[in-house]
Amino acid sequence: MASISARRLRKELNEIHAEGCPCGIKLLNADNFETWFFSIEVLGESLYQGEVFKLMFRFDANYPISSPAVQFVVDQNIQAPIHPHVYSNGHICASILGTEWSPVLSVSAICVTLQSMLASSKAKERPVDNDRYVRTAPDNPKKTRFQYDDDTV
């Protein structure tokens, strides 16, 4: 029997193909049910006007019961946005990805949330503990016990 993640993701994918992504979000790659890539821009006036970022979603077999691992992609071509809740290695501190995750959420919902997190940002700066975190961070951001100090969602 196909895993529940496969079924759920297939439906989400069909919906994306049928109705498109939210504005500013584009599906880059969804060849399998393990890893998806999106490009994300903040539309309108914002600190990140004109900048394009790349999001990576990783799913395990229990999605949506278990939350996806979400991070910005960082490589020679692209950087993570400079934001108080985004580490330079791409990891994101957002409650929706952690304690506030609910199985009724979706990939689109996360994209939109992150988009608005960027849009409402007041300052372009890294988290205070960025350097220390990045040195010792695990590969999978879900392993990190983030402290959510302000409302990110």
Partner 1 sequence: MKVHVKHWSAVAQWRWNTGNNDQDDEGDVCGICRVPYEGCCPSCKMPGDDCPLIWGECSHIFHMHCLLKWLGTAPSKQQCPMDRRPWVTAERKIADTSNNPI
Per CB under 8 A, residues contacting partner 1 are 1-4, 7-8, 11-12, 62, 64-67, 98-104
| In the complex, least distance from residue 9 CB atom to partner 1, rounded to whole angstroms | 10
Q: What are phi and psi of 28, to 5 degrees?
A: -95, -45
Nearer to partner 1, 54 or 142 (CB): 142
State the sign of the Cα–Cα–Cα–Cα dihedral 71, 75, 81, 84.
positive
Phi and psi based region of residue 6 (left: phi greater than 0; alpha: psi -120 to 50; beta: remaining): alpha
Nearer to partner 1, 3 or 79 (CB): 3
Reported residue count of the chain is: 153
| In the complex, least distance from residue 92 CB atom to partner 1, rounded to whole angstroms | 17
Nearer to partner 1, 71 or 95 (CB): 95
CA distance 86 to 141: 11
Annotation says 93 is catalytic: yes
Q: What are phi and psi of 36, to 5 degrees?
A: -125, 150
CA 149 to chain centre: 18
| In the complex, least distance from residue 12 CB atom to partner 1, rounded to whole angstroms | 8
Q: Which residues are catalytic?
A: 93
